[in-house]
Every structure is written in C-alpha cells, then in structure tokens.
Structure 1
Amino acid sequence: MKDLDAAGLDCLAALADERSFERAAETLAVTQSAVSQRLRSLEAQVGQLLVVRSRPLRLTEPGKRLLRYARQLAALRSDVVRELGVQAANVERLPIAVNADSLATWVLPALDPLVQRGLREGFGLELVVDDQDFTHDWLRQGEVLGCVTTVPQALRGCIAQPLGVMRYIAVASPAFAARALPKGLGAANFAQVPFLVFNRKDDTQQQWIRQAMGLRSARLNARYVPSSEAYVNAVRMGWGIGVAPELQVRPLVAAGDLVVLRPEVQVEVALYWHQWKLGGESAVTPDSGAPPALLDQIGEALALGAREALRG
C-alpha cells in the first residue's frame, strides 16, 4: 500500500469531529464534494469502508484505527512546524479527554501556562469531557491523543503515568442535614434521602454507600445533575447529599456552607495520564536542542499540576 494521503486523513479526522459532511467541509474550507472525493480515495487506498454514511455519521472499526494514525500525524506535523518556526496554515487541534471533576478543580490551572503560550505559537487544545472510567475509550478509539483516566494499564503504543488520588467525601448543606438527617446518616435512612448523582455512568455514590454501610449495592433516591459546578451548587441549595471531590468542596466546608457527613468514609480514585507515543519512544532526543513534543508537554503539565493539587 502506498503512503496514505494526508488530505484524506485530515478529511477523516474532520468527519470524526463534526459527524457530518457539511460541517467537515466547513472545517476544512472545501466543498462537500471534495470531502466525499477525498474520503472515497482514502477508502479505495486502504480497501475498506471507513465511514458509515448515517445521520450522524460514524466511523467503522477500520476507520477508528486509521483515525488514531490521523490524530498522531497531525500532532507530529504541529511539532515539526513549531520546531521550524514557520507559520502554520491551520491551527492544529490537540484533543485530550478528562473527567469533569478534574476539569472543575486542577486541570485548567495545570494547563494554563501551556495554553497561554499556545495562543502565541498557534496550536489548539480541545478538552473532551467524560466519566473518568470512560475517557480511556476515547483514546482507544482514536478520538483523542491523551486522557486522564482511572485505568492503570497502557494501551499498546501508549505510555501511562500515575497522577495522584482524588478523594471524595459526602457533604450536604447545614439546613438539609438539620432537616433530613437530625440523627445523622445511617443504614436505616440513607435509602429515603436524596443523593445527587452526576450522570448514569457515575458510581461514586454507590462506592461511598458500600464503604459507609457495608453493603454490596443499594438503590438510591437519585437526582441527576450532570455538571461538576452545578452539582456542588445543588448540594449547597439543599437538593440532597453529594459525594464530591474534597479538593472542590474544601473552601465551602471551611466557610460553613457545607457539612461533611461521616468524615471517616472517603472514596479514593487513582488517576493516570495516558498518551500515544509519537515518533517512537521520543520524538525528540535529549541532546537535539528541540523542545519536547506538545503532547509530552501537556502530559508534563498535567503531572505537575496533579502533584500540586492531589494527594499522591
């Protein structure tokens, strides 16, 4: 097979991002006909169907495998352009997946110096948000170049490093605790008291209940609030009990806006950073004088930010 067509790979990545030919054409600044032609040419080159023409469209398994290569090639291209000091024709997008609680607490401060420099150097960053147990799937499918996840094992072709531990505690507003839990929270009343849950992927509350009550599983009176910031605000407003990152609610507890329930019970979630290895073990040799690859810099920034914010 000849070398894969770079324009076709960019087309595949745009289709994966936009999920439609029309929006992909707008992203690439070409016509829809050009997008279709480039895709057909790439499919002919590899001899496999890469995209299912549905609404929204979706990638086939061969398409997902090729998407991983397209993402890595775009990242390498961005690094080469930066090292050469030339102006890129387009801003390369570097997508990474993070969990919502990390995004709401330590990820933005960790990445801020890199992003501020990126505004001057012309590279982009996209943060894809999912539950920490599912961000790894985005990496496996080629949708992102790196992820913050609870999975410790690295995929083939990836590297992984531990970031630290996020500790979750149960909190409630003082008024809610006084009204709904005059005798505290225990096995006799937890099923009747509303618990706030981020979304249906979130099992942090179940983990807390298992530890606190010694149960294997329990049916909760759940209220779903799918935003880390809104979740904590809902707890403050008295919507129910929240199991939230201690890092996030620490100032509210100190100010008396929230109270900790069963402080001896804590859910600890170990986080890891995974990224694809680009250009072998390292795209830059130690004595080359070239700056580290952007993806490596993102990993280093996250590791430093996590060390400062999380309990190791």
Structure 2
Amino acid sequence: MSTFDPDALECLAAIVEEGGFERAARRLSITQSAVSQRLRALEAQVGTVLIVRSRPLKATSAGQLLLKHTRMLRLLRADLERDLKELAPSSLRGAREEERISIAINADSIATWALPALTGLAQSGLPMEIVTDDQDFTQEWLRQGQVLGCVTTLKQALRGCKVVPLGAMEYVAVATPALAQERLGGKALTAHNFREIAFVAFNRKDDMQSEFVGQAFGLKRVMLNQLFVPSSEGQVRAVLAGWGVSVLPRLLAQPLLDQGLLVNLAPSCVLPIQLYWHCWNLESEVLDALTCALTRSAEVALSA
C-alpha cells in the first residue's frame, strides 16, 4: 500500500473542512496554488478524483476514505502528545489545527451535561471540535468518518466502532403560565387541545415535539403548528418569551419550573430518550479519556 504524504492528507482535509481552496490556504499558511498542487499530487497517487468541485465542495467516496485515515492519524498524534506531556512537558507546543479531535454531540446534551464532562480535557489542552446535530443524526457524522465519536440515540454499534450506554435524557412539555392560560384556559395539554398552541422545535429534523404528543395521547400521526429555533438555549428563551410550548430536557426546564416561570403542561407524561456514546474501536488514550469523561457525567445527570 502506498504511503501518503501527511501534508497532502491535511491539505485534503482543510479543503473539505474549510469549504474551499482559499480558506484552506489561509488555515495551512500556504498559497492557494500550493493547495491545488498538493491535491493534484494526492489525486495522481490515488488514481482518482478526491474532491467534487461543487457548492459546497464535497469529498468523493475515495476522498472520504482518505479523510477518515487523516483523522485516525490525528488521533495517533493526540495520543503521542499526551504521552510526551507526561515525559517532557516543556517540549510541547500549542496544538496545530490538523491535530483537532472532532466529536458530534446533540444540542440538548451540549446545553446540559456534556460540556461539564469535557471541561477537564479542554483545560488539559486536548484540541477538540464539537459538531452539533439532532441526536437521531449525529451517528451519520461518525459513519462518514467526519468525527471519531458521537452521542446518539442509535443503540447498535456502527461498523468498526464500539458503543457505551449513557442513560436517558427526560423531556417535558412546558410553557409560560400566561400562555397556558390564554391558549389552553389554564388546563393541561390533551388530545383535543394541543392543536390550539404552537410548538417550538429545534429544526425540521426534530421530531421530539410530535413524538411527545403522540406518546402522551396515544396518537399514531401528529400534525403540529411548529416554530423552529436551532438552539437548545434559544428554545428556552423562545418559550419564556411566549412563542409557544416546547418539549425540553428536564435538566433545562426544572429550574424554571421551580421558579414558576414555566408550567408543565403534561405532568403525567415524561419522554425518556436513551443516549449512547459511539467511538472508533481503537486502542487510544484520548478515546478512553473521552469515553470515561462522558460516561461519568452521564451517570450523574441522566436517568438509568
């Protein structure tokens, strides 16, 4: 098997991750012409096109394989950095962009328990990038080799990966007391009145609101009037501003319920969403540290 030039591999990664040749050149501190030359040399070595010149730029299937290989090399370098830090701390420099470790985590976990879990690693100098997506889709980032681990609802381990159960995040339906009084006459949500009020969802991929209503009232098909706010904290602010009702993590909603700023519109219904940590099945101190940090935090924050 051919040995690929690490600089050429990182050039390919920079083009895809930055979305263009010019930005890749700025990131790598080389000319745009040098970026093109490195890519052409890598494509000549592989014998096929690696980048689709579309808007946005996309890696071909062969390009995706090389990107996954590049991220594995980053993980090896990160492991080496951790070992060297113990043996010769003064020899270490700041982490380079190409050493960044990428993981995908759903927005609700980022807004509640996941960031505290990763704080120690960030403070120790681990160069992380957190990609956010809906919990039902984060595994696609891992499947495509764009990240080395993800928090997702998928139970079955992906090919070449291992999976660790994290626990369940509980969701409740909340709104302001004023809105509940105005739209629902101060009553709880029912199968007959949920259409009278708007629901604030994360984005169009988010089916949390309809799943909650369907489970609460035994409905197979649910059509909701929805507004979209692509941020967990933004959803909370929208609900507090009276936009509508939203199904939010209890971890976010409970302090506001305790203060009387929100009311639980379906107190007898809680929607538990099981979460799992998936990562590449490799021997790596960095992966072990990420797995340990996330599972420990999840044990405290999530339901068994």
Same fold? TM cut 0.5: yes
Residue of structure 2 equivalent to 1:15? 15
Corresponding residue for residue 170 of structure 2: 167
* Residue 88 of structure 1: how far off its partner (Å): 4.6
Partner of 1:225: 229
2:286 equivalent to 1:306: no
Cα displacement (A) at 1:173: 0.6
- Indicate the residue corresponding to 1:135 in structure 2: 138
Using the TM superposition, name which of 74-83 and 219-228 deviates more: 74-83
Do the aligned partners of residues 88 and 218 (structure 1) sit closer, same or farther apart at CA in structure 2, a change above 3 Å counting? same
How far, CA to CA, are the matches of 1:165 and 1:65 in structure 2?
Answer: 33
Q: Secondary structure at the match of 1:191?
A: helix
How far apart are 1:82 and its partner, in Å?
3.0
- Give the TM-score, by structure 2 length: 0.93
Query: Displacement of 1:102 after TM fit?
Result: 0.4
Contact 1:20 1:55 in 2 (8 A): no
> What's the % identity of the aligned pairs?
53
Structure 1 length as normaliser, TM-score? 0.91
Farther off after superposition, 95-104 or 217-226: 217-226
Q: Does 1:103 align with 2:117?
A: no
User: Residue type of the partner of 1:140?
Assistant: R
Q: Output the aligned Cα RMSD.
A: 1.4
The residue number in structure 2 matching 1:271 is 275
Segments of 5+ residues of structure 2 without an aligned counterpart are none
SS in 2 for 1:229: helix
Q: Residues 300 and 33 of structure 1: is their aligned pair in 2 closer, same or farther, counting only changes over 3 Å?
A: same
**AA matched with 1:36:** S
String of CA shifts for 1:204-248, please: whole Å, max 9, x gaps: 111111112211112111111111101011111211111000111
SS of residue in 2 equivalent to 1:110:
helix
CA distance, structure 2, for counterparts of residue 82 and residue 262 of structure 1: 48
Report the alpha carbon displacement of residue 112 of structure 1 after superposing the two structures with TM: 0.8
- Alpha-carbon separation, structure 2, partners of 1:220 and 1:263: 20
The structure-2 alpha-carbon separation of the partners of 1:4 and 1:31, relative to structure 1 and needing over 3 Å to count, comes to same
Q: CA contact under 8 A between 2:172 and 2:249: conserved in structure 1?
A: yes
SS in 1 for 2:12: helix
CA, structure 1 residues 89+100, in 2 after alignment: closer, same or farther (shift >3 Å)? Answer: closer
Give 1 or 2: higher helix fraction.
2
CA contact (8 A) 1:50 1:60 kept: yes
Query: Matches of residues 20-31 of structure 1 in structure 2 within 5 Å?
Result: 20-31=20-31
In the alignment, the residues of structure 2 paired with residue 7 and residue 232 of structure 1 have an alpha-carbon distance, to the nearest angstrom, of 44
Which runs of structure 2 are paired with 1:24-173 in the superposition (5 Å)? 24-84=24-84, 85=88, 86-88=91-93, 90-91=95-96, 92-118=99-125, 123-173=126-176
> Which residue does the alignment assign to 2:257?
253
Q: Would you say the 8 A contact 1:172–1:235 is kept in 2?
A: yes
2:200·2:239 contact (CA, 8 Å) conserved in 1? yes
Task: Give ranges in structure 1 of 5+ residues lacking alignment.
Answer: 284-292
Q: Which letter does structure 1 place at the counterpart of 2:108?
A: D
> How many angstroms does 1:277 deviate by?
2.6
Change (3 A) 1:41 1:218: same
The letter of the residue matching 1:250 is Q
Spell out structure 1 runs of 4+ moving beyond 3 A. Answer: none
User: Partners in 2 of 1:299 and 1:164 — Cα distance?
Assistant: 14
